[in-house]
Structure 1
Amino acid sequence: MAHPHLPTTESAVTALREIAREFNLEMTVTDDIGADQTSRRISSGAFAVLDADGTLPHEAFVELGGSPAMTVQLFPEDDAKINVDGVEFADVPRDAVPAFVRSVHRGLAYVKGKFFPPGWWLVVPLPGDETYKELVLRGTLTPWMSRQVR
């Protein structure tokens, strides 16, 4: 299943609001609009408000309540950083964010231990053979992660 294209940060935030309603999660959003406000300044000069192409870059930081604790930082460059119970998934394409969050809240995400390389991995499968996995740093599992061990 192809991801619906989310052309803007705002459309991704709207999709996350729908997921928050679907799973009855509290959600807070902090918006940073303008090149002088966003954390990445790739295509604009110092003190510029617009990007080089004349657009106003929009970045959003979304906190979702419930378990696991999740935050999503949406960047103007069509990607996001998702933090699940302290495990950071960087460079997630913005189009994959709704499926990623939905997968975690549907109970599809799981933790697996490996002997080599040693450690615990948080695995988030998405529809259509797409999977994200990150090492659980410090090797400590949160109570939510402990329930997801397979």
Structure 2
Amino acid sequence: MDQSDRSDRLPTTEAAVTALHAIAAECGREIEVTHDIGADQTSRRSAAGFGVTADPDGSLPHEAYAEFGGVPRVSVRLYPDDDAVITVEGVAFHDLPRDDVPAFLRAVFGGLAHVRARRFPPTASLVVPLPGDRTYKEHLSASFLTPWLSGRIR
């Protein structure tokens, strides 16, 4: 499916934050969100001069950080560049397209995320399947397994 045909587009950070609140309500989770607005406040604009809030094109970059209550521990950092970092039980998934964030969270909260482990060589990965045969996978140390991760080993 072409990205431009997707009905779940999240064109702004604010739209993504609204989607996060909806997912928290669906899953019965508390959510706490903080916002950083302006080039002098966002983490990827550290080269902005003192007091410079707008990008060269005149726009105000908007970044948000959300933490979900409950287990698994999940946090989301939404960047103004249409990408995100989602951390699940200490395992960070970097450079996720912002449009994939809702499906990713529904997979985690819905019990689809699992740990794929091998005995030899000893390796483990947190696997998060999304609709459309898309999968995100991050390597993790077997000694790093939290109780939630240990309960999802396949």
TM-score by length of 2: 0.90
Q: Distance in 1 between matches of 2:21 and 2:138?
A: 25
**Equivalences for 1:67-146 in 2 at 5 Å?**
67-115=71-119, 118-137=122-141, 139-146=143-150
Q: Distance in 1 between matches of 2:142 and 2:36?
A: 32
Q: Distance in 2 between matches of 1:69 and 1:104?
A: 10
Structure 1 residues 31-90: Cα deviation after superposition (integer angstroms, max 9, x where no partner)? 000000000018x74232101211100000000011100000000010001000000000
Structure 1: gaps of 5 or more residues: none
SS across alignment from 1:145: helix
Describe the shift of the 1:35–1:116 C-alpha distance in structure 2 as closer, same or farther (beyond 3 A).
farther
Residue of structure 2 in register with 1:21 after alignment: 25
Q: Distance in 2 between matches of 1:107 and 1:94?
A: 21
**AA matched with 2:87:** N
Alpha carbons 2:10, 2:98 under 8 Å: kept? yes
Alpha carbons 1:87, 1:137 under 8 Å: kept? no
Size of the aligned set, in residue pairs, is 149
Return the structure number with greater relative CO, CA threshold 8 A, min gap 6: 1
Q: Distance in 1 between matches of 2:127 and 2:40?
A: 35
Cα RMSD over matched residues?
A: 1.7
- Displaced runs of 4+ in structure 1, greater than 6 A? none
Residue of structure 1 in register with 2:152 after alignment: 148
Structure 2: gaps of 5 or more residues: none
SS across alignment from 1:40: helix
Describe the shift of the 1:3–1:117 C-alpha distance in structure 2 as closer, same or farther (beyond 3 A).
farther
